[in-house]
Amino acid sequence: MSTETTDDEDKKRSKLEKMYPIGLGLVSLMHERDLITFINDNNGNVRVMKKKGSNSYSIPSHLYAVCNFDISLLPIKLNLPMVCKPLDWTSACPPGEEPRTLSDLSGGYLSGPTGEIYDRYRLLSTGSLHHYSLYIGRGKGDSKKLCGVMNTLQGQAFKINSDWLKYILENENSFVEYGYLKPRFLVSLNLKKAYDLLREFHMKDKVINQFCSFSELLQTLNKNIQCSRYEDFIIKLAIAYDGYHFYLPAFLDFRGRIYRSGILHFHERDLARSLILFAGTESKDSISEEMKIQIMVAAAFHYKKFITVDHAKEWCLNNFYNLEKNLIDFAREAKHPFQFLAIAIGLCNNKTDVLLNTPITQDASASAYQIMSYFLMDEILAKRTNLIPSEDGEIKDLYSFLLEELIEFMKAELDNKSLSNTVCQILTRKIVKNLFMPIIYGKTLMSTTMDLKDNLSHYITYKDCCVVAKACFQFWNQRYPGMNCLIRLIRHIGWIASAGDRPVFYKVPYFTTVQDSMKMEATKIWVYDRLHKKKRGVTLRIATSQRNRKKTVTSTFVNFIHQRDAYIAMNVVESMLFSNWPIYTVHDNFISTVEKSN
């Protein structure tokens, strides 16, 4: 008996000796290094629990580990570019069955798409999979056509612009000094200590106290820290992928628009876009002068707008050969400074491989208005949006025309001449674009008034802003009745479907979009506010079974337009399926190389 007991104890002891508390040690290490803080509240990702037999909701009380750094920067939460070709999108249904939804397709990442990826792109307006979805067409080969477009786009290889990346790293201090990049030390800043120091200095400094509050300073600091972390991560990604060919898996949202996952692609901001080149183009010993001029013109349009391509060429010839003196200083006024500099560095180094693979961008000109001008057969609007090219070669700007017409309308229609003169002097193209571009999104009189208040409050009162907003809507209805009627027509169709207790269906040959907005019910739960050390009531909005007619009406037209531009892009890509041309689409924006850009 004693021998058996000893053997059992030895076995238990040997098992215990082989079990290492790695998880506990890792958590302890993170806590010691101030990477995490333990709190007893509910600020983490929690599940809302409904109490049995009542309509109230609650969240369980647990101990949480709160990160002292931006958790969104963790690589595990990012879907990065692939260094091997993505899996082709194909049907995941049994043989003989046609795929009906996106879930019936498989492709992209080798591990298969996760629910998180689909949630991000399919559910742009709601948290429920049942409210917005996409059905693949029942026509013969519709799913193959859809997959063919996605496979063409995600099969395009890219590479890092090594020369430009090297230039950034060598001149990082200058980029920070001139305001292109945020200081690198912000990346590793301890947020808690920074907040405490900022509060302390704000209390002591009487001058700063008068001009801005602590919350405003804190917001500015947070914005700069976030920007610095983004820039640092983009540059680190570029360093990691430098020398490789990489691919960008394609995913669809519920309107058929194609997106890319992660943060290193052409859907991103100026810095990320500037670091990417096309890959796979045949290398040549030299390129023609005509191609160099085209690349210069592409760079010029990253610097500012031009009326014609000839004006851009003239600007290039007058400026490009003097850039080497102080290139960084010259680009400070550029519209897209990083992309402008990346092309300029390629031209200065005169590397054929870089120039041949430089992305040449062509964005649509007010694409929603282009599509509306087509439906309305409105020749004037089509010319103003460049859908019909101008005979004199000028690039028309719709919002400049709207600005001129609105000023004339204000002078003629506003009874208060003093208000009319004031508004006409301070109206700009940017203000007019902010007023009329969101018309397709259901912009209201109240939101227009608030926009005018934000831009013109130094010159006119809130009451005057209301008068000007009404005049803007009156101008729109009188000057462009066709577009107003088209928008209302499509929205009324959505209202009829919703009033009949049915979803709204949008159909094109590739797929059908399903829009089914539901009313949200407000429900209050209680959470512990860590900042103010007390409980607070938080209102959650939970979907009901009743359809939301108002939201359906508002979103019907914008979803209709977005589906149309997605369909246009797909047709363009489908026409290039067998040509092997470099191609990338950002909705209605097409990107290719200098050889194929025309």
Within a domain: residue 18? yes
Query: What is the DSSP code string of 364-389?
Result: -SSHHHHHHHHHHT-HHHHHHTTSSP
Tell me the three state secondary structure of residue 538. Answer: strand
Within a domain: residue 9? yes
Paired with 136 in beta bridges are 511
**What pLDDT is stored for residue 22 in this prediction?**
67
pLDDT in tens, the chain (598 residues): 444 555 666 655 555 455 556 677 777 788 888 888 777 654 444 455 556 666 665 555 556 677 777 655 555 456 789 999 999 999 888 888 888 888 888 888 887 554 444 444 443 334 455 678 888 876 677 888 888 999 999 999 999 999 999 999 999 999 999 999 999 999 988 888 888 888 888 888 888 888 888 888 888 998 999 999 999 999 999 999 999 999 999 988 888 888 888 889 999 999 999 999 999 766 677 788 889 999 999 999 999 999 999 999 999 888 876 666 678 888 988 999 999 999 999 988 888 889 999 999 888 888 999 999 999 999 999 999 999 998 888 999 999 999 999 999 999 988 888 999 999 999 999 999 999 998 888 888 999 999 999 888 888 999 999 999 999 999 999 999 999 999 999 999 999 998 898 999 999 888 898 988 888 888 777 766 666 667 777 677 777 888 888 888 988 999 999 999 999 999 988 888 777 889 999 988 899 999 888 8
Paired with 537 in beta bridges are 526
Within a domain: residue 30? yes
**What pLDDT is stored for residue 75 in this prediction?**
52
Within a domain: residue 243? no
Paired with 135 in beta bridges are 101, 512
**What pLDDT is stored for residue 276 in this prediction?**
96
**What pLDDT is stored for residue 476 in this prediction?**
93
Q: Which domain holds residue 43?
A: 2-68
Surface-to-core class of residue 465, CB atoms within 10 Å of its CB (0-12 exposed, 13-18 middle, 19+ buried) = buried
**C-beta contacts of 444-451 below 8 A and 24+ residues apart:** 445/469, 445/470, 445/473, 448/472, 448/473
Count of structural domains within the chain: 1
**What pLDDT is stored for residue 517 in this prediction?**
85
Within a domain: residue 53? yes
**What pLDDT is stored for residue 306 in this prediction?**
92
**What pLDDT is stored for residue 272 in this prediction?**
96
Within a domain: residue 482? no
SS3 content of the chain, % helix, strand, coil (to 5): 55, 15, 35
**What pLDDT is stored for residue 43 in this prediction?**
44
Paired with 534 in beta bridges are 529
